[in-house]
Amino acid sequence: MSEPVQLLSHAIARDALCALRDTHSRPAQFREALGRLTTLLAAQATSGLRTVPRKVETPLCDCIGEALQGRIGVVPILRAGLSMVDPFLSLLPDAEVWHLGFYRDEETLQPVSYYQKLPQGKPVEEAFVLDPMLATGGSAAAALRDLQNWGVPRLHFLGILGAPEGLQRLQEEFPTVTIHLCALDERLNEQGYIVPGLGDAGDRAFNATAE
């Protein structure tokens, strides 16, 4: 049974989404809004992380608290996913960061891998794949497959906007992966872009149009 998508419901998120969608937002404004959304999304997605009891000494006495358990990986899909890394690390500063690179063949709309460097035999115990846009789902599916092959037992996908087509693909191919989005938009257009969407997230975040 597929995990339902977890949509972020927060007034700050709705405000930040307006800035992201606005074609007049400058790169700095775009990055700031993306950072706010990623922080909120990360807080939601990490709420169920595993913890272990830990004895701590307060100024008054000893007590038992809870500490995070195991190795956690943050996996941005290049290049747009890079814009989500720092906000995510503000919550999990000790997380490992591993990069996966894909570009989309504009004729077939299929992902083409150009960077993958995961250490053999040493998978993290929990990984969060970051990509602002879940459009066709091709790059997200390829990244999740690479992480499964690496041996990661618990996987999550975090995106800002999703299209029904991409969401359906991930739920069908990866029924145990938790999917977190800020919003689910209407559809994909003929070029594979999310509508109404926000354009190309990588181009706008880094002020550099990829040809």
Three-state secondary structure readout of the chain: CCCCCEECCCHHHHHHHHHHHCCCCCHHHHHHHHHHHHHHHHHHHCCCCCEEEEEEECCCCEEEEEEECCCEEEEEEECHHHHHHHHHHCCCCCCEECCEEEEECCCCCCEEEEEECCCCCCCCCEEEEECCEECCCHHHHHHHHHHHHHCCCEEEEEEEEECHHHHHHHHHHCCCCEEEEEEECCEECCCCCEECCCCCHHHHHHCCCCC
Q: Is the pLDDT of residue 3 over 60?
A: no
Both tokens of 106, joined, read 């504009």
- The pLDDT, as a whole number, for residue 1 is 36
- C-alpha to C-alpha distance for 84 and 78, rounded to whole angstroms: 11
Mean predicted confidence (pLDDT) in 120-131: 93
Point out the residues that are catalytic: 104, 108, 200, 203
- The pLDDT, as a whole number, for residue 211 is 59
CATH of 6-50+68-206, one of 3.90.550.10, 3.40.50.2020, 3.30.565.10, 3.10.20.90: 3.40.50.2020
> What rounded mean pLDDT belongs to the chain?
92
Domain ranges across the chain: 6-50+68-206
Q: Is the pLDDT of residue 81 over 60?
A: yes
Q: Is the pLDDT of residue 99 over 70?
A: yes
Q: How far is CA 43 from CA 29, 49, 70, 148, 206, in A?
A: 22, 10, 18, 24, 24
- C-alpha to C-alpha distance for 153 and 123, rounded to whole angstroms: 9
Q: Could you read off the pLDDT of 26-71 as tens digits, one per residue?
A: 999 999 999 999 999 999 999 999 999 999 999 999 999 999 989 9
Q: Could you read off the pLDDT of 155-174 as tens digits, one per residue?
A: 999 999 999 999 999 999 99
